[in-house]
Structure 1
Amino acid sequence: MSDANERSKRQAFRDKNYPNTVWKNNRVAYFFDRSASERVRRVFKKGAQVWRDNTCIDIYEDTCAISPDRIRVFMEEGCWSYLGRKGGEQNLSLGEGCDTEDWLDEFRLESRSTNHNYDLPYDVGSIMHYGATVGSANKNPTMIPYDKLHTRTLGSPFVSFYDILMLNKHYNCTDKCDPKTSAKCAMGGIPHPRDCSKCICPGGYAGRFCKERPSGCGQELIASHSAKTFTDSIGDKSSRTVREDFIKCHYLIKAPPGKKVEVKLLHFSTSRIAADGCKYGGVEIKTQVDQRLTGYRFVQFCSLDNVNTTLVSPLNVVPIITFNRLYQTDTVIQYRYL
């Protein structure tokens, strides 16, 4: 950290070098060095696709050295890259264990306060946030958020909605859609810069206007005054290998307008996968007012530590996301409206 007494809230900012550090015409060229393994190539391409799908930035493979500015992706010890565009050929290392998509023009949250944050709130679920126990010699937390229930949200393996929104602002993608004619997005979603008639949605929401549950496993659940429960099981009991991709199931609890939703974690089956950010599997419960923020996703929801934790949402909807890439996880949730 450059200034010991200063903390920033987001990853990208417009410093004295802006816009020279952004990629020209929002196009990012890369090529793979011979040292890059097949896994590194796969992971990098998946990460590039996430940003292409959710921004106006085009990330493409330049095998013929046509672009004067391009990224050389190679394998060296550690995960590192330059911040933004340097000019010419620049290096990006994806060493052993670098298996996330958090490389494009971002850097760790614990940096200068000259980062003015685009007026976005601090999201402890950002993929660029350090885990709670980073640097710990005894596995105890080295940092604790103001809301302690978010302790294990730190170190997330997922790109958050605010990560996506920040990068869209940094590259002026949000200017491409006229608010008068663009999609009217629910739950804090934003018009998609590649198609302003549809939305980019916060986690737990989908559909053209962010009013639906994401497709796939899971279901929409209608709360009543009496408590109901649902059980979710995902993964493979016999698996001992961490899968490259997560299995995800989306549930959306709805209550009548004006009612609050109470959610209680009754059971979570696997304590062996507890880790910062629940990087092997867990449950995310979104009971906060700002549905753009990452929900509670931490040790009590990826181990047995806080079974029977009760959360109350001020809204009449609560998305719940279960996810897994190691062993099998069984979750039992109780819910009702107040």
Structure 2
Amino acid sequence: MNIQGISPAFFAVQGKTSAAQVGTVPDLRALTPIAISPVAYTKFDFLQRLRSSTDGGPADGTFLQRLAERYGALRTEIESGGAADSKDEWLTMLDEVYDEVAAEAADRLSGTFDVFFDFGSGRYGEAVDRFDRQAFKSHLLAMAQDAKSASASGAGSVEELLAAKYAASNRMESMSFTDVVRLSGAIRDILGAAPAIAGGDTKTYGAAVADWQSEASRRLDSAGLSDDAKSAAEAALREQAATRLKGGAFVRAVDSMREKIEESMRELARLNAQRAWIDRQLERLAKELPPGHPMLQQLLERERQLIEETKSESLRIKEMQEKRKGVVDDPSSVTELEEYAQVVGSYQERLSSAETRNEP
């Protein structure tokens, strides 16, 4: 059948395009609808309607319930209308599209959890996998299948079924449905409020990380998590704060070294320009003045000074470049730098003052 008004992607220019026409606006009169099969159009419709239930935005554990409810509404729509001989085909397609959209949403959510629990793992030290993303994704997909079955049967509330079947667990990768929903919301808020790891004042950044961690801890306290989930999340938060401190110090240190190198390069250029000027003066005056003339001696002495200053500045640039390369090649060495000490000092001072204010 001909489907019009869907998308420019469903239309094409008939006939061949000459080289002269490449890059030009096509003649709209040459556009004709492509025949779209009912199967292709229906699958596209299912995809759009199911994906809209998961928003495609920030990962949120409530996608399990929302997606299943949208699936149930579409299933009812199919069963209550249309030709009987096509219903089975549409229902099968709906199941396939549901699985595809559920996998997309599960991948986003598992990725968000992985970022939270394994933030920067291996970047500034030994890599430690505290969270198994694939295992958690499989757990989410299992819940999605149960949610689909519950919605198809109309046996009751999808939320209640998932909460009952997936109760408390001592493994984060198989946490309860309730913890998935509550922790995903908390993680979304926590990550969204994290201070950017960027160059700047180290003391300001350290204090910002402390404030963020304190607020994040309060968010976890109010999330209503199980003891196991809360304990794991708090440990991950502490590890993430430590990584962010290293990250902020690393960026500031590398930027500071770059700035110093650039400053020394400008100084070296200035010294070389002075040497070039003196060389020109010596060449000119050597033709006008006798050897040993005081002016020639002064210029020669200044040239010797500039040669030493140029060597010293060149050596300084080389040392700074090597130091910067060492830090870039081994980010874990950032803990040995002054910038890291400044960031940590500011962080600890802010946490200490916050604890003092909160004392009864």
Shorter-chain TM range is: under 0.3
Which structure features the higher share of helix residues? Answer: 2
TM-score scaled by structure 1?
A: 0.23
Which structure features the higher share of strand residues? Answer: 1
Bigger CA radius of gyration: 2
TM-score scaled by structure 2?
A: 0.22
